[in-house]
Amino acid sequence: MSIDLKTIKHISKLSRISVDEQKAKKLAGDLNSIFEFIEKLNELNTDKVEPLTSVAETTLKFRSDEVQSKNIKEQIIKNSPENNDDFFVVPKVVE
């Protein structure tokens, strides 16, 4: 695929971005080199390559799911903007 100046001007008009002639030539060259690289990647045989979820081949360490903090209700409630002993009170947001 090749991008010419006419296509660059059309795309800039559609996106409402002003591009002068010099920038349009540079963009055309940059986009053409990107498309050439994509075409090279498409030629690679990736049939036996497994997809990666991460580049680091590590596994997560499992830990037991235990409650670490007990009886901290008072500490949490004291951060409420209004005083209340049972729940966290915040200002009304929906009108």
One digit per residue, the tens of pLDDT, for the chain of length 95 reads 788 999 999 999 999 999 999 999 999 999 999 999 999 999 999 898 888 877 787 777 888 888 877 778 888 887 777 777 777 777 788 87
- The DSSP letter of residue 85 is S
Predicted pLDDT of residue 13 = 92
Looking at the domain assignment, is residue 50 inside a domain? no
Domain of residue 24, residue span: 5-42
Q: How many domains does the chain have?
A: 1
Looking at the domain assignment, is residue 28 inside a domain? yes
Residue 90 · residue 80 · CB < 8 Å: yes
Looking at the domain assignment, is residue 74 inside a domain? no
* Cα 27 from Cα 4, distance rounded (Å): 9
Looking at the domain assignment, is residue 33 inside a domain? yes
Looking at the domain assignment, is residue 25 inside a domain? yes
Predicted pLDDT of residue 45 = 92
Looking at the domain assignment, is residue 23 inside a domain? yes
User: Which CATH number goes with the domain that contains 33?
Assistant: 1.10.20
Amino acid letter for position 61: K
Predicted pLDDT of residue 75 = 81
Closest CA to 21 of 3, 8, 31, 35: 8
Closest CA to 74 of 63, 84, 66, 60: 84
Predicted pLDDT of residue 29 = 93
